[in-house]
């Protein structure tokens, strides 16, 4: 490989002349000839003719680099066929390199407008759109070949008023969005889930306390352990407690400072804050007992990465606390957690939560705002996967073996 080829980014080039004014013009030719015929593999080649080819390659600062290439046309004496010299990253009959198209795609995907790219890269807006959609189609084909992650998070988020909710599938191990599908019911997701590759390899499915998602996980991920999401469980506990508080003291429920103290974990309060809260709760004995129970329950829910032995020791404490809550205003909460007892206990063994998924939902909302909403869900899906989940390779320039020198 010539040093010039390394600098330009296309191996095997010999630079003959460079001119820089409003743009950078580089005249080059192959440093070595093709080693064998691309049709039959024979080595008896001769150069029949040389053609000129002009290609937009990349930008250096504020200047576009234009390559003026001398392209040899070979004749194979073994099979009698003709072919032209090939360069890595330059496809036949294209007037721009893969690197140049990738630059335009990444800039447009990052928020640069078509008008600005048309001016900086000297191409039309239609070309920008065509290249962008071409790379998205490559992404789509690569996404279709992916296999399910081992640790999968499932959660819903709102899409539009007309089309309703969508379901997000997240690779919790690699912190990426695996896919987004329209709908949150079993019938709407069934065709997609049936066609997923590697469903049997999913080991853990993390979800909120949704019966729909639990039935979906049991049906389509038979080898996976269903784990309740710690983030949603703790939020559910707080929601039930706040409703009971509303019933006991509607006026106190309007105090923002008091609301903050009630929602926070007891061990995160300062001594003065804890004393003020206990003073308030002393006037509501039932509410005070429920607050103590809520704190004990939240502490149990926040346990993670326990060994099987430690989890078995903690289980009686949870069962005893749920028995106490069955005869209290929090009986609905106790009933829900009892029905989800196995996923809740499994939660103690893992550290992953759908808090990652909630973070992606915030990012998806920003993507939708930036686009002023999406009518087409497939466009929304591709944009989300581009920014939040996709991790493939799009035909980057590859270095080929060194062919022999041109005589």
Give the residue extent of every domain in the chain. Answer: 1-93, 151-228+354-388, 230-347
- For residue 407, pLDDT beyond 70: no
Cα gap 197→45, rounded to integer Å: 46
pTM reported for the whole predicted model: 0.67
Q: Which two tokens stand for residue 252?
A: 């106190």
Cα gap 58→403, rounded to integer Å: 25
Give, as one character, the DSSP assignment of residue 111.
T
Ramachandran bin of 353, using left for φ above 0, alpha for ψ from -120 to 50, beta for the remaining angles: beta
Chain-centre distance for alpha carbon 182: 16
Cα gap 160→170, rounded to integer Å: 21
Is residue 109 exposed (0-12), middle (13-18) or buried (19+ Cβ within 10 Å)? middle
State how beta strands 24-30 and 63-76 pair. Answer: parallel
> Tokens 């019933």 map to which residue?
247
Instruction: Round to the nearest angstrom and report the end-to-end CA distance of the chain.
Output: 16
**What is the pLDDT averaged over residues 98-109?**
86
Cα gap 19→207, rounded to integer Å: 60
pLDDT tens digits along 277-327: 899 888 889 988 999 999 999 999 988 888 888 988 999 999 999 998 988
> Does the domain at residues 151-228+354-388 carry the CATH identifier 3.30.420.10?
yes
pLDDT tens digits along 54-91: 999 888 878 888 899 999 999 999 999 999 998 888 88
63 forms beta bridges with 60
Cα gap 101→93, rounded to integer Å: 14
90 forms beta bridges with 87
State how beta strands 13-20 and 82-84 pair. Answer: unpaired
Q: Which two tokens stand for residue 230?
A: 């710690």
In order, the DSSP letters of 293-306 are HHHHHHHHHT--S-
**What is the pLDDT averaged over residues 158-182?**
91
- Cβ atoms 346, 311 nearer than 8 A: no
State residue 399's pLDDT score.
35
> Tokens 């912190």 map to which residue?
175
- Cβ atoms 141, 352 nearer than 8 A: no
State residue 148's pLDDT score.
87
Contacts 24+ apart (CB under 8 A), 271-280: 280/252
- Using alpha carbons, select from 384, 362, 378 the residue that is nearest to residue 157: 362
Alpha-carbon distances, residue 196 vs 144, 169, 189, 192, 213 (angstroms)? 9, 12, 11, 7, 16
State residue 115's pLDDT score.
86
- Cβ atoms 39, 21 nearer than 8 A: no
pLDDT tens digits along 347-405: 998 888 888 899 999 999 988 888 788 888 888 888 888 788 765 433 333 333 344 44
């Amino acid at each position: 490989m010539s040093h010039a080829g390394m600098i330009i980014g296309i191996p095997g080039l010999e630079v003959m002349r460079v001119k820089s004014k409003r743009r950078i013009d580089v005249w080059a030719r192959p440093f070595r000839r093709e080693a064998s015929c691309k049709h039959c593999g024979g080595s008896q080649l001769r150069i029949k003719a040389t053609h000129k080819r002009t290609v937009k390659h990349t930008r250096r600062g504020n200047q576009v680099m234009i390559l003026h290439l001398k392209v040899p046309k070979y004749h194979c004496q073994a099979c009698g066929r003709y072919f032209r010299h090939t360069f890595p990253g330059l496809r036949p009959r294209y007037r721009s390199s893969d690197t140049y198209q990738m630059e335009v795609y990444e800039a447009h995907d990052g928020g640069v407008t078509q008008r600005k790219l048309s001016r900086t890269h000297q191409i039309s807006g239609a070309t920008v759109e065509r290249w962008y959609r071409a790379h998205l189609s490559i992404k789509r084909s690569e996404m279709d070949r992916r296999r399910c992650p081992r640790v999968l998070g499932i959660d819903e988020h709102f899409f539009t008023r007309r089309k309703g909710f969508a379901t997000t599938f997240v690779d919790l191990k690699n912190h990426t969005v695996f896919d987004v599908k329209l709908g949150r019911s079993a019938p709407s997701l069934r065709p997609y889930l049936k066609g997923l590759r590697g469903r049997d390899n999913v080991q853990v499915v993390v979800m909120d306390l949704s019966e729909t998602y639990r039935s979906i996980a049991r049906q389509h991920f038979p080898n996976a352990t269903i784990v309740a999401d710690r983030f949603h469980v703790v939020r559910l506990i707080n929601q039930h407690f706040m409703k009971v508080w509303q019933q006991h003291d509607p006026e106190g429920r309007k105090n923002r400072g008091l609301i903050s103290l009630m929602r926070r974990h007891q061990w995160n309060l300062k001594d003065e804050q804890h004393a003020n809260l206990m003073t308030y709760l002393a006037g509501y004995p039932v509410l005070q007992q429920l607050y103590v129970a809520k704190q004990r329950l939240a502490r149990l829910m926040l346990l993670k990465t326990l060994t099987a032995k430690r989890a078995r020791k903690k289980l009686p404490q949870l069962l005893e606390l749920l028995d106490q809550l069955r005869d209290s205003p929090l009986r609905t909460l106790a009933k829900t957690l009892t029905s989800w007892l196995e996923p809740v206990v499994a939660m103690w063994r893992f550290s992953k939560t759908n808090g990652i998924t909630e973070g992606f939902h915030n990012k998806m909302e920003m993507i939708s705002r930036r686009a002023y909403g999406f009518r087409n869900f497939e466009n929304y899906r591709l944009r989300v996967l581009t920014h939040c989940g996709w991790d493939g390779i799009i035909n980057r320039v590859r270095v080929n073996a060194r062919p022999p020198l041109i005589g």
